[in-house]
Amino acid sequence: MTNILLKVTGLKVAYGGIQAVKGVDFEVREGELVSLIGSNGAGKTTTMKAITGTLPMNDGDIEYLGKSIRGQGPWDLVKQGLAMVPEGRGVFTRMTIIENLQMGAYIRDDKADILVDIEKIFTIFPRLKERCQQLAGTMSGGEQQMLAMGRALMSRPKVLLLDEPSMGLSPIMVDKIFEVVRDVYAQGVTVLLVEQNASRALAIANRGYVMESGLVTMTGDAKEMLNDPKVRAAYLGE
C-alpha cells in the first residue's frame, strides 16, 4: 500500500466567529496529485492554512509522515518537506527574483546544490532567468506566480501545496501554470492542489475532493469526477 504522506482528520477551523471548516477528512498519498475543489468560500484556503500552521485549528488532527503536526509553524514544516505556495503568491516584492529563490532555500546549506537548483528553476521558467535581477514587486501576476512556485521548489519539498495558483491570471498564463504543476508532479513531487478552476484541476489529478460550506461532500477518481453530472453541473457550468 502506498504511504500516506498527509492525513487530515476531523479538522475544524473557526475565525472571526465563523466556523469555516466543520470537520474535514482527506488524505494525500505518496506520488499523488490530489485536487481539492469547491466554490469560493467553501473553506479550501482555510484548510490549507491550517495544514501549514498559519491558522490554528479548533479540533481534529493533521498528520504528516505519520506524525501529528498540530501546533507546528510553517518554518518547521518546510524543514520537514512540506511547502506551500499561498493564494496571492506572497513573493518578497522588494527583493529581486534571484533573492526570492535564495530565500526559498533558507533551510539548506548545500551552496553548490542550491545554485544547481536555481538553474533548474530557470529551465522551468525561462522568463525568470531573463529578469533575475528585477524586483519581484514589478512583475506581472503570472510572473509572480512562477516565482512563488520556484521559491517553494527551492526547499526540495516532499509535498507541495498549491493554493489557487491560476487565480487572476490570463488564459495563456493559466495554461503555463498547469503545465508546470504537471511537470513538477512528473518529477516525483507529491502535490495537493486547491483550485476554483475545477475542470483544469481534475484533468491533471489522480484523485479529487469536493468541499462545500466547510465540509468534504464528495471524493473519488479525478477523471470519474470530471465526468460526474453533479460535479459538471455545480463546478463546470454544465
pLDDT in tens, 98-124: 999 999 999 999 999 999 999 999 999
CATH number at residue 199: 3.40.50.300
Res 238: pLDDT: 54
Q: How far is CA 80 from CA 4, 44, 158, 166, in A?
A: 15, 23, 8, 26
Full 3-state SS string of the chain: CCCEEEEEEEEEEEECCEEEEEEEEEEEECCCEEEEECCCCCCHHHHHHHHCCCCCCCEEEEEECCEECCCCCHHHHHHCCEEEECCCCCCCCCCEHHHHHHHHCCCCCCHHHHHHHHHHHHHHCHHHHHCCCCEHHHCCHHHHHHHHHHHHHCCCCCEEEEECCCCCCCHHHHHHHHHHHHHHHHCCCEEEEEECCHHHHHHHCCEEEEEECCEEEEEEEHHHHHCCHHHHHHHCCC
Closest to 50 in 3D by CA, of 86, 80, 79, 81: 86
Q: Tell me: the pLDDT tens digits for 46-59?
A: 999 999 999 999 99
Output the CA–CA distances (angstroms, integers) from residue 58 to 28, 153, 201, 209, in the order listed.
22, 30, 29, 22
Between β-strands 159-163 and 190-195, what pairing exists: parallel, antiparallel or unpaired? parallel
R_g (Cα) of the chain, nearest Å: 17
What pLDDT score was predicted for residue 96? 97
pLDDT tens by residue, 156-210: 999 999 999 999 999 999 999 999 999 999 999 999 999 988 999 999 999 999 9
Predicted TM-score (pTM) of this structure: 0.94
Q: At residue 186, what is the residue type?
A: A
Domain containing 17 equals 4-235
| Mean pLDDT for all residues in the chain | 93
Q: Which grid cell sits at 66?
A: 505519520
Report how far residue 201's alpha carbon sits from residue 232's, in angstroms, rounded to the nearest whole number.
13
Domain count, the chain: 1
CA 59 to mean position of chain CA atoms: 22
